[in-house]
Amino acid sequence: MNRWYKELTYFDLKKVLIRLKSRKFLTSSCTICLEPIMNDSICRMLNCYHIFHSACLEQWFVEHMNCPICKKKFDGEVELRYNLEELL
């Protein structure tokens, strides 16, 4: 999972979304565990731009290979729509 979806703080991922002009994906809670996402929470962003707690997403991907929100399927190689290193 680290190969495609790097762990970052929610604060850093918010900066990425702002730079991508995708503020509509900013969230206040993880839709997997329903707990709040704090600025220092360790999260991952899928290439559909939805953000989740890292541990929650890892657990989700054990049984599902899709986004919990939009249901976009992720199987095999994943082509990211963004480069985190360039956006931070």
**pTM greater than 0.85 (yes/no):** no
**Per-residue pLDDT averaged across 47-72, rounded?**
91
Which segment, 13-22, 55-64, 69-78, 79-88, is predicted with the most confidence on average? 55-64
Backbone angles phi, psi at 61, to 5 degrees: -70, -10
* Amino acid letter, residue 18: I
Catalogue all structural domains in the chain, each as residue range(s) with its CATH number.
8-87 (3.30.40.10)
Dihedral (CA of 52, 3, 8, 25) sign: negative
CA 44 to centroid of chain Cα atoms:
4
Range from 42-46, 63-67, 70-74, 79-83 carrying the lowest mean pLDDT? 79-83
- What pLDDT does 30 receive? 96
- What pLDDT does 73 receive? 85
pLDDT of 39 strictly over 90: yes
- What pLDDT does 24 receive? 77
